[in-house]
Amino acid sequence: MSAIDVLVARLPEGRILTDPEVIDSYARDRTFCEPGKPLGVVLATSRDDVVETMRWATEHRVPVVPRGAGTGLAGGATAGDGSIVLSLAKMTAIRELSPGDEIAVVEPGVINADLDRAARAHGLMFAPDPSSYEISTIGGNLATNAGGLRCVKYGVTRDSTLGLEVVLADGRILNTGRRTMKGVTGYDLTGLFVGSEGTLGVITAATVRLRRAPAQPPATFAAEFPSLRDAGAAVSAIIAAGCQPSLMELLDRATLQAIDDMRSIGLEDATMAMLIGQSDVPDGQAVVSRMEELCMANGATFVAVSSSPQETDDLIGVRRMAYQAKERLGACLVEDVCVPRSVLPEMITAIEEAAARHGVRICTVAHAGDGNLHPVFIFDHGTAEPPAEVWAAADEVFTRALELGGTLTGEHGVGMLKRRWLALESGPVVQEVSAGIKGVFDPLGILNPGKAI
């Protein structure tokens, strides 16, 4: 009996897909990374399915690639030859939602926006909101420590994660963290697993922190600028002034043009950048008025302040259309360098200069309030992977981000795509320690091999 036949016999009927064409659709994420040929796909519906799969994988030395909704942008869910894809998308239970404790216990297949909607029925919210919040899963958010539009105020996924239920490589169950807002007993294993990209264990449940939803809709503005650097300077001024925005998003001309081509937004010829900001405090309108003043002082040519929830939704909708609009232009190498907020204008300039020097189309958006930029390198759809000039431009962008005290990835993870630059940031001691940690949790190296470290 083959290894995959053994697994079929151990799991309930219908849990495993083996049709090659169906498997291929589970073997890739939203990147151009070409997957190998997995043995099959496990459609886990419970922790027991995951435990059985990991026990089998350890016995047969089969690599396991955990997968959520496949919305990743770094190749973290790309499957290799001879692996098994472990899909957690059917584990969709919100096991508990406690308004009194302001926590929820959720399985990894729960869609981010569904958890937020469930929380809002009790006057609460789940703060992390990546642009893919309507399709990405909590498991994927945990795997990459996703952030999103609200992270400037509320932090990233790790900041909203209190505890985890994890199935280890050999099938043992590890429970980390707690239900309390505070706790320092032992090592912070919860923090270690969040952002580990499925290389240390398979998360089957998470206890997450909920927060009070704002009592009224946030006050919102959109400012237009004659240059991307001016917009970056306005962001720095807003942060320095202590405005504490709950959202601060930056879009360059190339991105705005792509959005306008897809769905007309009335883009003006002179607009080279747009800054969208919000404040969700009770006196949000006063805070937005102050941010408006700072935008005008730093070169804004026009600032619009929303006067209704619908106008707010329309403005935020422009930002959320960005990646979809760019995908229409060609294949995308999506990056997410993060730099200290004070040097945001310098990083913006470096991206523009790299694009011009190498003749590469780069469309940039940013969670500008926390210095997290997403330069998207566009190349022909028919190309198997980015051409040399794209890689050269990306090299310059990453190198400059590190020179400015930044990091290679703010929220997408390393996956496969950023491993080529990893040594530039981490150094030999960090790499040695990381390999040691990996060895403790996954001594056979079967969990998502070739990713993250």
**CATH number for the domain that contains residue 142:** 3.30.465.10
Residues 233 and 303 both lie in one domain: yes
Residues 335 and 230 in one domain: no
Reported in sequence order, the residue ranges of 20-168 that DSSP labels E, i.e. its strands, are 40-43, 64-67, 84-87, 94-98, 103-106, 124-125, 161-167
Last residue of a domain, one of 290, 325, 360: 325
The tokens describing 289, both together, are 């008025």
Instruction: Please report, as a single letter, which amino acid is at residue 160.
Output: S
Are 148 and 278 in contact by the 8 Å Cβ rule? The answer is no
Same domain, 107 and 193: yes
Residues 18 and 121 in one domain: no
Residues 208 and 220 in one domain: no
Domain check: are 192 and 226 in the same one?
no
Residues 238 and 268 in one domain: yes
pLDDT of amino acid 350:
95
Of 187, 212, 237, which marks where a domain is finished?
212
Q: 223-250: buried (b, 16+ CB within 10 Å) or exposed (e) per residue?
A: bbbebbbbbbbbbbbbbeeebebbbbbb
> 111: domain range?
94-212
Residue 170 shares a structural domain with residue 234:
no
Give me the number of domains the chain comprises.
Answer: 4
Question: Which pLDDT does position 395 carry in this prediction?
Answer: 96
Q: What's the longest Cα–Cα distance across the chain?
A: 73
pLDDT score for 435 = 96
25 and 50 in a common domain: yes
Q: What is the pLDDT at residue 315?
A: 86
Task: Give phi and psi for 207, each to the nearest 5.
Answer: -95, 115
> Are residues 88 and 66 in contact, defined by beta-carbon separation less than 8 angstroms?
yes
On whether the CB atoms of residues 267 and 301 are closer than 8 A, the answer is: no
Domain containing residue 386: CATH number: 3.30.70.2740
What does the pLDDT read at residue 385?
86
**Same-domain status, 203 and 222:** no
CATH of the domain at 8: 3.30.43.10
- pLDDT at position 357 is 97
pLDDT at residue 382, as a whole number:
77
Q: Does residue 190 belong to any structural domain of this protein? A: yes
C-alpha distances (whole Å) from 444 to each of 50, 60, 61, 437 are 17, 11, 7, 13
Residue 445 lies inside a defined structural domain of this protein: no
Clarify whether residues 174 and 231 are in a common domain.
Answer: no
Note if the pTM is more than 0.85.
yes
Q: Which of 281, 310, 325 is at the close of a domain?
A: 325
Residue 36 lies in a domain: yes
Q: What does the pLDDT profile of the chain (453 residues) look like in tens digits?
A: 789 999 999 999 999 999 999 999 999 998 889 999 999 999 999 999 999 999 999 999 999 999 999 999 999 999 999 999 999 999 999 999 999 999 999 999 999 999 999 999 999 999 999 989 999 999 999 999 999 899 999 999 999 999 999 999 999 999 999 999 989 999 999 999 999 999 999 999 999 999 999 988 899 999 999 998 999 999 999 999 999 999 999 999 999 999 999 999 999 999 999 999 999 999 999 999 999 999 999 999 999 999 888 888 888 888 989 989 999 999 999 999 999 988 998 999 999 999 999 999 999 999 999 999 999 999 998 777 899 999 999 999 999 999 999 999 999 999 998 998 999 999 999 999 999 999 999 999 999 999 998
Q: Are residues 68 and 145 in the same domain?
A: no
Residue 384 confidence (pLDDT) = 77
CATH number for the domain spanning 254: value is: 3.30.70.2190
